[in-house]
């Protein structure tokens, strides 16, 4: 049925040249079946359509093509190349009319890459795609989730970090096809990436966002995120992270029994006794390995030693390395020295080691807070704070002019007729709180 395809090509080209992109989108969505039936010929169609002028058409064709192919396909390489080239040259203006299609395209593309073990190819491509489809740098799209996934699989984190370091303000709806799964996945994978680069603070934040998503049922993604949340909190703060109050009820009620093992680990951690922690770990080794959290668990154990060393600074001024090893239950003074050196490097402790005596002297924090750098730091924090306040005010304005809101505020006066005094006072207080 080549004629149907020719028909499609002609229509799409003419409509696009007219600039009538809305029509193009409608037409294209109607003709997906036609395209699906003629999968075999789609490659030729791709050859005829020019990606820049007829982006929407090309995109639709690619979507269908990718959906109907597996990673073992013969000419998968050329297909990948085509997709990459398309995303590089497509016109943003046209794409904005069909963000959901773009998301689909990127989704199938990413899946194929992962299945074909060549995830790294897609990173740059998806970065470009995100930049082209984002309504603003602060919008979250489903492509973000795919990008992060690719980065994680290929262990190449920097490109993702560029996107993740920006605080998200809004979610692009993609005409209804944005799914909460993408949101959860973005934050879950993002948390894992941050853990890998040892930015535990932000990792904890990402996991926390994941588990505090409003939900009516616990999703597996949330569950995994919660397990990692506990582990990262143990490494970062030395105690089990608190589930925030604004997490939905199902989470607070059901997540604990589902991840009992991790709670036990956390409890053992809080006793500051490495033996107990080791026993819990060895008892539940299977569970940890199955969840692929064994690496994090081992990091927890070393974090426990660090925590104990830090507690020593509160009691002692100087200590010999042998004593340190004894008190923290490390195996040898050399290991204690290694730990302390690492901690001094990372700035977690202020101490100096006298190698002749084998003594450690714990020092106070030398920060006097009287340097220009500190002032610059404070200034930066203040700017962030003011930025947040500005955004909040903008959001508040949106609410205040919302007709629904106005209705709710003035509602009681109109509906209840001769209002009882309590309702009236309520409405006055509502108005005064406006």
Partner 1 sequence: MASMEVDEDVAAEATSSSQSVAVESSSQAAGNTSNFTAPTSPAPPAQPATGGGSGSALSDVSPGNSVMASAGTVGSVSVSLHPLVILNISEHWTRQRAQEVTSEVQVLGALIGKQTGRHVEIMNSFELSYDMLDGNIIINREYYTLKEEQYKQVFSDLDLLGWYTTGDTPGPPDLLVHKQICDLLDSPIFLKLNPMARHTDLPVSIYESVLDLVNGVPTLLLVELQYTLATEEAERIGVDHVARMSSHDVQESSIVAENLQAQYSAIKMLASRVRLIAEYVKASQRGEVEFNHEILRQVNALAHRLPVLNSEKFRGEFYNQCNDVALMSYLGTITKCCNTMNRFINRFNLLHERLAMGRRMRGLFF
Of 315 and 404, CB closest to partner 1: 404
Alpha helices in 68-219 (DSSP H): 76-89, 92-95, 99-115, 121-133, 142-154, 158-164, 180-196, 200-211
The Cα–Cα gap between 159 and 161 comes to: 5
Query: What are residue 211's DSSP bridge partners?
Result: none
Note whether 16 and 28 are within 8 A (CB).
Answer: no
Judged on CB neighbours under 10 Å (0-12, 13-18, 19+), 106 is buried
Q: How is residue 342 annotated by DSSP?
A: H
Least distance in angstroms from the C-beta of 154 to partner 1: 39
Of 257 and 418, CB closest to partner 1: 418
Of 137 and 411, CB closest to partner 1: 411
Of 348 and 416, CB closest to partner 1: 416
Q: What are the two backbone dihedrals, phi and then psi, of residue 230, each rounded to the nearest 5 degrees?
A: -60, -45
Of 2 and 378, CB closest to partner 1: 378
Of 92 and 379, CB closest to partner 1: 379
Of 20 and 402, CB closest to partner 1: 402
Of 161 and 409, CB closest to partner 1: 409
Termini Cα distance of the chain: 65
Q: How is residue 238 annotated by DSSP?
A: S
Note whether 126 and 112 are within 8 A (CB).
Answer: no
Could you write out the three-class secondary structure of 360-398?
Answer: EEECCCCCCCCCHHHHHHHHHHHHHHHHHHHHHHHHHHH
Least distance in angstroms from the C-beta of 409 to partner 1: 7
Of 250 and 430, CB closest to partner 1: 430
Least distance in angstroms from the C-beta of 399 to partner 1: 5
Of 181 and 391, CB closest to partner 1: 391
The Cα–Cα gap between 241 and 226 comes to: 10
Least distance in angstroms from the C-beta of 386 to partner 1: 6
Measure Cα distances from 45 to 40, 221, 415 in Å.
10, 39, 62
Which residues fall within 8 angstroms of residue 49, CB to CB, at 6 or more apart? 9, 12, 13, 57, 58, 61
Q: What are the two backbone dihedrals, phi and then psi, of residue 319, each rounded to the nearest 5 degrees?
A: -155, 150
Judged on CB neighbours under 10 Å (0-12, 13-18, 19+), 345 is exposed
The Cα–Cα gap between 68 and 32 comes to: 12
| Helix, strand and coil in the chain, % to nearest 5 | 70, 5, 25
Interface residues toward partner 1, by CB under 8 A: 368-372, 374-375, 378-379, 381-382, 385-386, 388-389, 392-393, 395-396, 399-400, 402, 404-405, 408-409, 411-412, 422-423, 426, 429-430, 433
């Amino acid at each position: 049925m080549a004629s149907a395809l020719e028909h499609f090509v002609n229509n799409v080209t003419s409509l696009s040249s007219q600039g009538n992109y809305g029509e193009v989108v409608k037409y294209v969505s109607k003709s997906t079946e036609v395209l699906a039936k003629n999968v075999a010929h789609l490659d030729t169609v791709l050859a005829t359509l020019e990606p820049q002028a007829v982006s929407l058409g090309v995109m639709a064709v690619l979507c269908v093509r990718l959906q109907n192919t597996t990673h073992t396909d013969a000419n998968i390489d050329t297909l990948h190349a085509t997709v990459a080239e398309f995303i590089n040259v497509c016109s943003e203006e046209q794409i904005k009319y069909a963000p959901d299609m773009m998301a689909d395209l990127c989704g199938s593309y990413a899946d194929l890459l992962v299945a074909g073990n060549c995830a790294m190819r897609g990173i740059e491509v998806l970065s470009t795609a995100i930049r082209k489809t984002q309504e603003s740098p602060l919008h979250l799209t489903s492509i973000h989730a795919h990008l992060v996934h690719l980065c994680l699989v290929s262990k190449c984190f920097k490109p993702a970090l560029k996107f993740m370091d920006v605080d998200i303000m809004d979610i692009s709806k993609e005409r209804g096809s944005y799914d909460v799964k993408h949101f959860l996945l973005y934050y879950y994978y993002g948390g894992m990436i941050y853990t890998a680069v040892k930015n535990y603070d932000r990792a904890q934040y990402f996991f926390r966002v994941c588990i505090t998503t409003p939900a009516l049922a616990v999703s597996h993604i949330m569950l995994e995120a919660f397990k990692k949340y506990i582990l990262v909190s143990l490494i970062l703060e030395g105690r089990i992270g608190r589930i925030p109050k604004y997490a939905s009820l199902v989470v607070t009620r059901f997540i604990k029994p589902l991840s009992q093992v991790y709670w036990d680990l956390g409890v053992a951690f809080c006793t500051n006794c490495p033996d107990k922690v080791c026993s819990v770990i060895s008892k539940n080794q299977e569970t940890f390995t199955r969840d692929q959290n064994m690496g994090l668990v081992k990091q927890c154990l070393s974090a426990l030693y660090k925590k104990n060393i830090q507690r020593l600074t509160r009691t002692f001024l100087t200590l010999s390395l042998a004593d340190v090893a004894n008190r923290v239950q490390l195996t040898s003074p050399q290991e204690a020295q290694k730990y302390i050196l690492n901690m001094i490097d990372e700035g977690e402790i202020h101490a100096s080691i006298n190698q002749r005596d084998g003594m450690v002297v714990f020092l106070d924090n030398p920060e006097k807070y009287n340097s220009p750098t500190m002032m610059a730091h404070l200034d930066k924090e203040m700017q962030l704070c003011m930025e947040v306040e500005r955004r909040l005010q903008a959001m508040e304005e949106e609410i205040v002019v919302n007709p629904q809101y106005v209705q709710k505020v003035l509602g009681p006066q109109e509906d209840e007729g001769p209002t009882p005094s309590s309702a009236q006072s309520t409405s006055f207080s509502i108005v005064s709180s406006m």
